[in-house]
DNA sequence: TGAGCGGATGAATTTAATTCATCCGGGCTG
DNA sequence: CAGCCCGGATGAATTAAATTCATCCGCTCA
């Protein structure tokens, strides 16, 4: 039967463009370039022999035929999406269980997961946040985010991001009578310590060439989350790590008073057993993670 | 909002394969190789994580999930086809859109359409195959082929052909250790049932004077295409209907073991709204259909 | 038991989709 | 008013997907 139907890519491009009345925005939504949308819609129009959009000086507008076709196409894609979701196995390949540190989960992954869910609504991400290293043997954990040198036998390791360490504190500490302005001012500040990273202050102070400040003063916290919360509350100065403090820096809860960063040896990796590393939903997550912008990259001096 | 949708090629391959219960036949219908269908359906199954077809020794069968997904996909593609036809320019006098049952389309009209195209190369025939009764209100459907008594108000009805019902099976069942030779042998055979025609076996057995065979044994299928595919695969004996089994009888995929046919009350009609029933291209199609030889007419006893 | 059928599979090829680089036109701004 | 953004268009190049080809496999039937 010769029932000529447009390709899926063209229908989706048209649906998005009609919804947003913008090829550029449609491209962003579908993770394509505007050029791709333009090509698809052009070829759809050619194939139909019908103009779907007016492109005039005042931008884009649906034609009457385009509006009508949009209603139909939208309904059809909606129905197809539901049917396909129904046909899809529930808890199989569409659920990815990831193990990672609680701090990384809370301060880095979870804020981004919202966007991932919008991008891949059919992929369910389960987080197992733990300070213990993930055990892949049970078959429960699909992947983990680990910090290290990427040398874990039997696991596929894909690089995610580097780590930079530098003092962070509440913005309140950089103003007032005795503001933090140079690393030397740390002599008068309370240093907040992370029990999981003993000696981290020594490392940074040494790299910054500050030998005369005692690094062993101040309270010790059990986890990064606690150290950073204390710092945000103005209790003192913490040694922040880039992926973890990214959102706090972005929202202004924390500031970086000096600009001298110390690159950590090693970096973050997405690791998964070789055998299951290529399952589609994990591959989607990996690709998505890797295309995330590294907004926290050092703007200033790297030590 | 992003949702993962299968490619059009995969959907069409699946639709055709599900309708015909055969990759090879689907390939022929779509002008592709069986390999292409196999690849597409395989990748669709992989993507869904759902098995859509049982492939066992006795040939192809839809799984429950496959049957459900087929219903959805078929509806969606049909709606898309109508919407696209509506959006398309030049649905003029040289295009005729016909609605008919999928089984009649696949097993009767499509095989003949080739010849029609040669006779009338300028007339484009669009098929909308659906189990729903055609709705002429939208202006999309020009005509339909319906089975019934020809009494549809407001529609011009031209008779096409009668229907005769009789057992059919794979030629394999008429040979071997226990061949089907007389209707009494049906006692030992598996009767294949069509959910759309409950009681059809009772009717035929009663007319044939076989009171002592229980008609309610055997699997029930959703559609004529499935029943006939199962029969052709040697699964059992189906109750065939003349226009539908014509090509299978001609190619030898099915045989008629007994020769006793039951004439159905009612017949097939070409129906079209009175207002547009005489448009030239539809008139050409009507004339051509009516001059088609009725190659399946009963050669033997009519009950 | 070996020929034939329908489907599966992997590599090669063909075809479609997407990007890249560039262009165009109009409105906005300095 | 010139220059410059901005969004879209366009054609060639690139990348990705669909399809074919060649072959294999398991089963059935002479």
Q: Give Cβ neighbours of residue B175 (< 8 Å, ≥ 6 apart).
A: none
CA distance B86 to A171: 62
* The predicted structure's pLDDT at residue A101: 80
* The predicted structure's pLDDT at residue B129: 77
Indicate the DSSP class of residue B133. Answer: P
How is A169-204 classified by DSSP, letter by letter? B-GGGGSSSS---SGGGGGGSPEEEETTSTTHHHHH
- Superfamily of domain B91-156+266-290, CATH level 4: Periplasmic binding protein-like II (3.40.190.10)
Residues of B in contact with A67 (CB under 8 A): none
CA distance B292 to B246: 13
- Kindly report, as residue ranges, where domains of CATH 3.40.190.10 are found in chain A: 95-161+266-291, 163-264
List of A residues 47-106 with CB within 7 A of strand C: 57-58
CA distance A98 to A118: 18
Interchain CB distance below 8 Å, B69 and A79: no
* The predicted structure's pLDDT at residue B298: 53
Nearest nt (C1') to B30 (CA)?
A: D19
B23-30 and B34-48 helices cross at what angle (nearest 10)? 110
> What is the average per-residue pLDDT within A237-243?
88
Residues of B in contact with A84 (CB under 8 A): 3-6, 48, 69
CA distance A19 to A225: 41
Nearest nt (C1') to B37 (CA)?
A: D19
Which of B9, B65, B83 to probe the A interface (max A CBs under 10 A)?
Answer: B83
Minimum-distance residue to C26 (CA–C1'): A57
Pick the CATH number of A95-161+266-291 from 3.40.190.10, 3.40.50.1100, 3.40.50.720, 1.10.287.110: 3.40.190.10
How sure is the predictor about A47, in pLDDT bands with cuts at 50, 70 and 90? very high
> What is the average per-residue pLDDT within B85-92?
72
Closest-CA distance of chain B to residue A90, Å: 9
Q: What is the CATH number of domain B8-83?
A: 1.10.10.10
Q: For strand C, is any atom closer than 7 Å to the CB of A19?
A: no
3-state SS string over A102-155? HHHHHHHHHHHHHHHHHHCCCCEEEEEECCCCCCCCCCCCCEEEEEECCCCCCE
Q: Is B209 left (phi over 0), alpha (psi -120 to 50) or beta?
A: left
3-state SS string over B134-178? CCCCCCCCCEEEEEECCCCCCEEEEEEEEEEEEEEECHHHHCCCC
Lowest mean pLDDT among A214-228, B89-103, B147-161, B277-291: A214-228
Residues of B in contact with A15 (CB under 8 A): none
Which residue in B has a C-alpha nearest to residue A284's C-alpha? B4
CB A170 within 8 A of CB A231: yes
> What is the average per-residue pLDDT within A211-235?
73
Q: What is the pLDDT of residues A269-285, one digit of tens each?
A: 999 998 888 888 889 99
Report yes or no: B19 at the A interface, CB cutoff 8 Å: no
* The predicted structure's pLDDT at residue A42: 96
- Kindly report, as residue ranges, where domains of CATH 1.10.10.10 are found in chain A: 8-87
Residues of B in contact with A81 (CB under 8 A): 3, 5
Of B280, B47, B248, nearest to A94 by C-alpha is: B47
Residues of B in contact with A30 (CB under 8 A): 2
Report yes or no: A153 at the B interface, CB cutoff 8 Å: no
Average model confidence (pLDDT) across chain B:
85
Q: What is the pLDDT of residues B192-202, one digit of tens each?
A: 888 888 889 99
3-state SS string over A7-35? CHHHHHHHHHHHHHCCHHHHHHHHCCCHH
> What is the average per-residue pLDDT within B247-253?
81
Nearest nt (C1') to A21 (CA)?
A: D7
Pick the CATH number of A8-87 from 1.10.10.10, 3.30.1360.70, 3.30.2090.10, 3.30.70.100: 1.10.10.10
Q: Which of residues 193-252 of B touch A (CB under 8 A)?
A: none
> What is the average per-residue pLDDT within A204-230?
76
* The predicted structure's pLDDT at residue B215: 77
Phi, psi of A296 (to 5 degrees): -95, 10
Angle at A130 between CA A129 and CA A132, to 5 degrees: 150
CA distance A267 to A123: 26
A95 has pLDDT over 60: yes
**Fold exhibited by the domain B163-264:** D-Maltodextrin-Binding Protein; domain 2 (3.40.190)
Report yes or no: B51 at the A interface, CB cutoff 8 Å: no
Q: What is the pLDDT of residues B208-245, one digit of tens each?
A: 888 777 777 778 887 888 888 888 877 788 999 988 98
* The predicted structure's pLDDT at residue B295: 60
Lowest mean pLDDT among A210-219, A286-295, B110-119, B233-242: A210-219
């Amino acid at each position: 039967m010769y029932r000529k139907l447009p390709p899926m890519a063209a229908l989706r491009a048209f649906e998005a463009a009609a919804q947003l009345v913008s090829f550029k925005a449609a491209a962003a939504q579908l993770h394509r370039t505007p050029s791709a949308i333009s090509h698809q819609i052009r070829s759809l129009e050619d194939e139909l022999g019908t103009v779907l959009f007016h492109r005039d000086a005042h931008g884009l507008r649906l034609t009457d035929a385009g509006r009508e076709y949009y209603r139909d196409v939208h309904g059809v894609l909606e129905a197809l999406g539901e049917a396909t979701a129904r046909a899809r196995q529930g808890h199989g390949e569409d659920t990815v269980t990831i193990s990672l540190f609680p701090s990384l989960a809370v301060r880095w992954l979870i804020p981004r997961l919202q966007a991932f869910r919008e991008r891949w609504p059919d992929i369910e991400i389960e987080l197992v946040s733990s300070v213990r290293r993930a055990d892949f043997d049970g078959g429960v954990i699909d992947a983990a985010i680990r910090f290290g040198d990427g040398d874990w036998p039997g696991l596929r390791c894909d690089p995610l991001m580097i780590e930079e360490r530098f003092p962070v504190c509440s913005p309140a500490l950089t103003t007032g009578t005795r503001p933090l302005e140079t690393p030397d001012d740390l002599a008068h500040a309370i240093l907040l310590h992370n029990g999981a990273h003993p000696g981290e202050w020594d490392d940074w102070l040494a790299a910054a060439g500050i030998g005369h400040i005692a690094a062993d003063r101040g309270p010790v916290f059990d986890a990064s989350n606690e150290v950073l919360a204390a710092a945000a509350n103005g209790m003192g100065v913490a040694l922040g790590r880039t992926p973890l403090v990214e959102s706090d820096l972005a929202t202004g809860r924390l500031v970086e008073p000096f600009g001298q960063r110390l690159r950590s040896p090693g970096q973050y990796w997405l690791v998964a057993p070789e055998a299951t590393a290529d399952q589609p939903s994990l591959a989607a997550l990996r690709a998505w993670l890797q295309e995330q912008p590294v907004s926290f990259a050092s703007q200033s001096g790297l030590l």
